[in-house]
Amino acid sequence: MQIGAGRQGYDGPVAVTTDRKLDAHRLRADFPIFEQTFHGKPLAFLDSAASSQKPRQMLDAMNDFYETSYANVHRGVYALAERATEALELARHKVQTLLNAPSAREVIFVRNATEAINLVAYAWGLVNLKPGDLVVVSELEHHSNFVPWQYIAHRTGAGFRMIPLDDHGELRLGELDAIAAGGDVKVVATGVVSNSLGTMNPVEALATWAHEHGAIMVADGAQSAPHMKMDVQALGCDFVAISAHKMCGPSGVGALWGKAELLESMEPFLTGGHMIRSVGDDETTWGELPHKFEAGTAPMAEAVGFGAAIDYLTEIGFDAIEQYEHELAAYALGRLAELPWVTTYGPPAERRAGIVSFNVDGVHPHDVAQVLDFDGIAIRAGHHCCQPLMRKLGVAATNRASFYVYTIPDEIDRLVEGLHKVKKAFG
Amino acid sequence: MSEFDQLYRELILDHYKNPRNHGLLEPADARAEGQNPLCGDEVTVSVRLGDRDVIEEVGFDGRGCAISQAATSMLTDLVKGRTAQEVAAMEKDELLDELGIPLTPVRLKCAILGLGVLKLALHKAKGTPLPDEWGVAARDLVLE
């Protein structure tokens, strides 16, 4: 695939890169969304942590699948159905490679990371948790990795504990032993990267600790998979959940990776067509992995788009992406530090992904985001699906600017200019 | 007029920076609090009622965006002298006309938060009806 080959949309000449450094100006041309204006201004899209924009290469792959290869997968014996099945399984293989998973059987297509975590919470948690057990999450968690566990803990009578944060928004691992003293730790579930603060969590250390206690380690990779190399074997996790839409792929598809022996031992989450071996009048037996967990018609075109998005990001290089986002985070934190009436949250740039949460003194985030929108600048304002974290920070909401491969420093400059307008209007 | 000036017109900013009827009444005949789950805006409204359940005094407290707080401030001016039943039947458009600003669906929720909380307070105290469109979740949410 050729990247950066789209029409010139935004600005500047295209520099040809020979090393693996990311050229955001060049990549930007691949994203049709930037060809329009909002409120008469070019779009400064600083909300990629909520969902990323889509490159033409990914859109073309989905369209091509619909136009040339579409039929329901697996069951058909005709050539077209086989072609569709091949496309779906190729996408599965790409997810396997992305995550360095030992086997494609361990890659289950789901709707999104939230569904992936619910799958584990229901299919593993509901059966294996009981009173006296503990489910441990962190104060940083997105609701996607918090609410399912809180809910299943309540249903099973298991305890539910949070790993507290320090003042930098990083996990206080020193508290782990005190938590473990309160029961049998059976599940440890944390994000790899925080969607609110950009904190990069010590998942490997948590996985080791979880396994020492005989617990499973569940990692929410929705916010890390777009931005850095993910290696489920190196992380030492038992389950990892990701969403395509945050990493240049379409909405409606994500993946759960799980260790084969755990997945084999679990009952299904959703039942119905495709996930069966045989259906009797009184009893049904389940299909093999991964089909046991893929009831109903798969999100086929979406999976193909997911595969194309993985190709696109792999071509750029995850090391280059991670490096570039650190640079953007450092630049944004530096520019925001020029504004004494702005408070930023979270760890220093070298220990965070491309996410910056902040507040303007005395101005509600909704008003900040609204004023910025008038200048074509899209940020998120709210609790970012992290109400426990907001309580910890002592705020109702924050503003969040988040970056991706197409973000250019000029957009951060426009953010800072916009914040001056906010201050002038409300200060 | 710029988009900023249309939305944050002078009257809105004035109510935001100098809210009318600010502060909760002690004692009060009716009181409720509510949140906007999208953004965490909070409003608490308290009311003193006279003969025929006429609203004699109303006070509010809250934190949130300019639209939610200014709209609640304007609402408190609007409802003084009306009966609980009249407020229960009040259409949101009356408040929106008073605000006189273009609102997106998201900001609309900010604008009518205070009205919903006031209706809830009167419902709890006087049994006046709640809006038909409120589902069970909305009732539970504001009842927290």
Residue B39 pLDDT greater than 90, yes or no: no
Domains of chain B: 3-143 (3.90.1010.10)
**A131-151 average pLDDT score:** 96
Q: Find which of B39, B68, B108 to mutate to test the A interface (most A CBs within 10 Å of its CB).
A: B39
Residue corresponding to tokens 């005709």: A78
Q: What does the domain layout of chain A look like in residue ranges?
A: 24-46+317-426, 61-314
Residue A5 pLDDT greater than 60, yes or no: no
Please state which architecture CATH assigns to domain A24-46+317-426: Alpha-Beta Complex (3.90)
User: Do A178 and A338 contact (CB within 8 A), yes or no?
Assistant: no
pLDDT at A10: 38
Do B41 and A425 lie within an 8 Å CB cutoff?
no
Closest to A189 (Cα-Cα) out of A231, A227, A230, A240: A240
pLDDT at B135: 66
Residue A137's alpha-carbon distances to A186, A210, A353, in angstroms, are 11, 11, 20
Rounded to a whole number of angstroms, the distance from the CA of A141 to the nearest CA of chain B is: 17
Establish if B105 touches chain A: CB-CB under 8 angstroms.
no
State ipTM: 0.85
Number of residues written out for chain A: 427
Establish if B3 touches chain A: CB-CB under 8 angstroms.
yes
pLDDT at A345: 94
Question: What percent of chain A stands above pLDDT 70?
Answer: 95
Residue A16 pLDDT greater than 90, yes or no: no
Residue A18 — pLDDT band, cuts 50, 70, 90? very low
pLDDT at A2: 57
| Dihedral, CA of residue A268, residue A270, residue A275 and residue A278, to nearest 10 | 80
In A238-341, DSSP assigns E strands to: 239-243, 254-258, 276-279, 284-286
Rounded to a whole number of angstroms, the distance from the CA of B66 to the nearest CA of chain A is: 7
Q: Pick the residue with more confidence: A3 or A419?
A: A419
CATH code reported for the domain at A61-314: 3.40.640.10
Residue corresponding to tokens 């000036």: B5
Full-model pTM? 0.91
Tokens representing residue A165 in the block: 């944060």
CB atoms within 10 A of CB B72: 32
pLDDT at B144: 39
Do B4 and A382 lie within an 8 Å CB cutoff?
no
| Domain pair A24-46+317-426 / A61-314, same fold | no
Rounded to a whole number of angstroms, the distance from the CA of B54 to the nearest CA of chain A is: 34
CB atoms within 10 A of CB A312: 23
A248 included as an active-site residue: no
Do A364 and B64 lie within an 8 Å CB cutoff?
yes
Residue A1 pLDDT greater than 80, yes or no: no
